[in-house]
Structure 1
Amino acid sequence: MAHQILVHAMSSGGSTTVEALIKHPMDSGFVKDKAGKIIPAHYIEVIEFTHKGKIVLTGYWGPAVSKNPFIKFSFKGGKSGDPIGISWVDNKGETAATSSNIM
């Protein structure tokens, strides 16, 4: 599966707001497919956001998070042009990462 992370970060008034949409199935392991077989659990366990290499948010997720999760948060600092990094690891060991610049 091709995992994708869409990110938007904007700085205003001394704080930066980050929005990210992560393409991921986030299967709980409790849902059946059309044939009646359980779809195995497949979900993001850890997501991490960095600003200029320093961690600004770490999230520990589980199977209760919806498919293609959206996350929005703010942190103090950051200015236009600064780098924001996003990475995650799921319960199958798959990973994805991307970076963007604050607007």
Structure 2
Amino acid sequence: MANSDRVKVRIPAKAKKGEIIEIKAQLSHDMESGQRKDADGKSIPRRIVNKFTCTWNNEPVISADWHQAVSANPLSGFFAVASASGKIKLTWWDEAGAVFEYTHDIVVE
């Protein structure tokens, strides 16, 4: 599992029950398409993030399959209804087998 230091998020620490909150997350990742060449003229291998999920207390909030057209350092933004205190978990998977995770505690009053 890769470090979460490659992740920037904006998620509130608290919310009122039933409130709609915005979740924003950006992963620092090259999203290499496999079509560029390095300084020696050799092809740079393709390496893209191909799946993203968000769960709230292990219940799915969003799941997305990504393809090579997604830009480097992909930014995701979406909304969720605050239902219960707990953990919001964001997970990204890339084709090379790396997994990037970020967990955030939220208090719902």
Q: Which residue of 1 aligns with 2:47?
A: 42
What is the TM-score of this pair, normalised by structure 1? 0.84
**Would you identify which runs of 4 or more consecutive aligned residues in structure 1 move more than 3 Å?**
none
Residues 1:27 and 2:45 are matched in the alignment: no
What residue is the counterpart of 2:70 in the other structure?
Answer: 65
Gap runs ≥5 in structure 1? none
Q: Which residue of structure 2 aligns with residue 90 of structure 1?
A: 94
Distance 1:77 1:30 in 2: 42
Q: How far apart, in 2, do the equivalents of 1:55 and 1:28 lie?
A: 29
Where do 5+ consecutive residues of structure 2 fail to align?
none
Cα distance per residue 1:2-39 (max 9 Å; x no partner): 66222221347711210101011110111122222211
* 1:56 corresponds to: 61
Q: Which amino acid aligns with 1:68?
A: N
Q: Distance in 1 between matches of 2:40 and 2:92?
A: 31
Superposed CA RMSD in Å reads 2.2
What is the percentage of aligned positions where both structures have the same residue?
Answer: 26
Question: Contact 1:7–1:100 at 8 Å: present in 2 too?
Answer: no
| TM-fit CA distance, 1:88 | 1.6
Question: For 2:82 and 2:42, how far apart are their aligned partners in 1?
Answer: 48
Alignment length (residue pairs): 102
